[in-house]
Amino acid sequence: MSISDAYETFDAVGQAALVARGDVTPDELLDEALRRVEALQPSLNAVTMLRENVARRLIAEGLPAGPLRGVPFLLKDLGAEAVDFPSNNGSRLFAGTTYAVDSAIYARLKAAGLVTFGRTASPEGGIGPVTEAAVYGAPTRNPWNLERTPGGSSGGAAAAVAAGIVPAAHGSDGGGSVRIPASSSGLYGFKPTRARLPDGPYAGEGWAGMAIDGFLTRSVRDTAVLLDATQGPDLGAPYAAPPLQGTFLNACGQAAPRLRIAFSRTSLTGDPIHPECMAAVDDAARLLAGLGNDVEEALPSADTKGMMAAWTKIVACGTALSVATAIHRRGREFSPDELEGISKAAIAYARTISGSDYLAAVGKIHAYGREMAAFFERYDILLTATLAEPPAPIGRFDHRNDDYLDYRLGPGRVFAYSPFTAAFNASGQPAASLPLYWTADGLPVGIHLAAGFGRDELLMSLSARIEEARPWFGRRPPLRYETLSRR
């Protein structure tokens, strides 16, 4: 089998097994990844930085004997701070930011034996459902349809994995930023319970505890192994998730019990969703019922609109803080062209929010978590679409917009497009997007599953059972390395 065939045939766990047996070397896998970047980057604009010299050095020094030893990997250009990988954080203002020490999550990824060789595109500040940051010169595009977004804010990671540049990539999720790209790009994306993964040492929590790291993968077990390699609090963490009973990988091998599953064919506020997204929910509900679960239509009574208004305040304040920190570090104000319109609008909105307003917003999301917890006393799982529409056209959520509240909450804007995912950042519950449905014109539509707080292993087990019943690994987009290499 050629390196290219092996790269296509095996997920990250499978590629690590090839390395362990001596069938391929880490250098050969890295060579293949770099060939794929060269071929696909002009169409996708997904990879923002290449550090081949760092990757070669890591290999030469001897990779740790971790579960993913030798597998090529990419970090999102936001978070996962690493000495060897400066970051733009999706912004001209932050371009070339360097770090004195590695973040806890990158140190754990490195210890897993991964060969990190670059970063992937993110929107400025991670605050959009698309990836069209000016710092990269052009939008990041979806390999299923180049006129559509791969999602955001982990859009570069999703495009790179979907197109086959890497088998898995790092992402992060503060309002759906792993699950939105997973849905848009035909991938698996899992958001763990709040504080399951480390934030230090650069932060205690992100966006009042709503933000967390994660991964974009083509198989459930890849996500499981990555989570096992990185989960657990780091030194000085302000709080921790409930301990796991076993491991994520073990959960993949467990039979899920008969579950009480609620599903909704509307948004969480009862608004209609696109017919193709509704069809995806109906299809998944039938599948789950066929797997022996009790499935019924039900909708939480939690105040989702109020939660989203609070989420919007918290994210605006987070944006203002990060920009103020950058200004303080360099000792001068930003110029008008260093920040995009939506970031400047978020900062302006943050200036209208008092300290008591901010604390009230945090209190609102905590109250929302309690409201959702009551619903999950009656049900084990909530099934919805991941997005209310198929992947948006490039430009629809352009960051040049100068009205932050309209961008987030206005008719047809971000909350209408993505009305599901942020709910579980606010509540802190685990949630996942699974690639089970494609539209008639070939666009992926994810289905979204959420479980009770701390029940990550149940959600992982159910994801694995669904993957067995409806495998998706072999489904590939039109734009991928094999199609280009045959031209």
Question: Which tens digits make up the pLDDT trace of 172-213?
Answer: 999 999 999 999 999 999 999 999 999 999 999 999 999 999
Q: Are strands 188-191 and 115-120 parallel, antiparallel or unpaired?
A: unpaired
Residue 113 identity (one-letter amino acid): G
For residue 168, which of 147, 148, 190 has the smallest C-alpha distance?
190
Tell me how far apart the alpha carbons of residues 89 and 110 are, in angstroms, rounded to a whole number.
Answer: 20
Tell me how far apart the alpha carbons of residues 253 and 63 are, in angstroms, rounded to a whole number.
Answer: 28
Catalytic site includes residue 153: yes
- Count other C-beta atoms under 10 Å from residue 327's C-beta: 13
What is the DSSP-derived secondary structure letter of residue 393? B
- What is the tens place of the pLDDT at every residue in 254-309? 987 899 999 999 999 999 999 999 999 999 999 999 999 999 999 999 999 999 99
Tell me how far apart the alpha carbons of residues 172 and 149 are, in angstroms, rounded to a whole number.
Answer: 17
Tell me how far apart the alpha carbons of residues 195 and 454 are, in angstroms, rounded to a whole number.
Answer: 10
Distance, CA of 164 to chain centre: 17
155 vs 106, 159, 246, 268, 388, CA distance in Å?
Answer: 19, 6, 31, 24, 18
Task: Report percent pLDDT > 90 for the chain.
Answer: 94
- Find the catalytic residue in 91, 122, 172, 177: 177
Instruction: State the residue range of the domain holding 270.
Output: 3-485
11 vs 7, 39, 85, 341, CA distance in Å?
Answer: 8, 20, 24, 39
215, 171 contact by CB (below 8 A): yes
Q: What is the pLDDT of residue 123?
A: 97
SS3 state at 438: strand
- pLDDT-derived band of residue 61, with 50, 70 and 90 as boundaries? very high
Q: Output the domain CATH number for residue 172.
A: 3.90.1300.10
pLDDT at 221 over 90: yes
372, 423 contact by CB (below 8 A): yes
Q: What is the pLDDT of residue 94?
A: 92
Q: What is the pLDDT of residue 484?
A: 73
What pTM was estimated for this model as a whole? 0.98
Catalytic site includes residue 122: no
- Find the catalytic residue in 91, 153, 264, 427: 153
* Burial of 290 (C-beta count, 10 Å sphere; 0-12/13-18/19+): exposed
Q: What is the pLDDT of residue 394?
A: 98
Catalytic site includes residue 344: no
pLDDT at 487 over 60: no
User: 470: left (phi > 0), else alpha (psi -120 to 50), else beta?
Assistant: beta
**Dihedral sign from CA coordinates of 167, 173, 178, 179:** positive
- pLDDT-derived band of residue 480, with 50, 70 and 90 as boundaries? confident
Q: What is the pLDDT of residue 486?
A: 60
- pLDDT-derived band of residue 325, with 50, 70 and 90 as boundaries? confident
Q: 250 φ, ψ to 5°?
A: -60, -35
Domain count across the chain: 1
Non-local (6+) Cβ contacts of 456 within 8 A are: 192, 193, 196, 227, 241, 244, 248, 251, 430
* Run of H or E including 448: strand 444-451
199 vs 80, 84, 212, CA distance in Å?
Answer: 9, 18, 8
Q: What is the mean pLDDT of the chain?
A: 96
Non-local (6+) Cβ contacts of 213 within 8 A are: 79, 80, 105, 170, 171, 172, 173, 197, 199, 230
* Run of H or E including 449: strand 444-451
- What is the tens place of the pLDDT at every residue in 44-57? 999 999 999 999 99
* Run of H or E including 295: strand 294-297
Starting at the earlier edge strand, list the strands of the sheet with 47-50: 47-50, 115-120, 72-76, 168-173, 212-217, 188-191, 431-438, 444-451, 381-385, 260-263, 294-297
402, 345 contact by CB (below 8 A): yes
Task: Report percent pLDDT > 70 for the chain.
Answer: 99
Residue carrying the six token digits 């993110």: 122
Q: Report residue 383 as tokens.
A: 């099934």
What is the DSSP-derived secondary structure letter of residue 111? H
- What is the tens place of the pLDDT at every residue in 412-451? 999 999 999 999 999 999 999 999 999 999 999 999 999 9
Q: Report residue 174 as tokens.
A: 């503060």
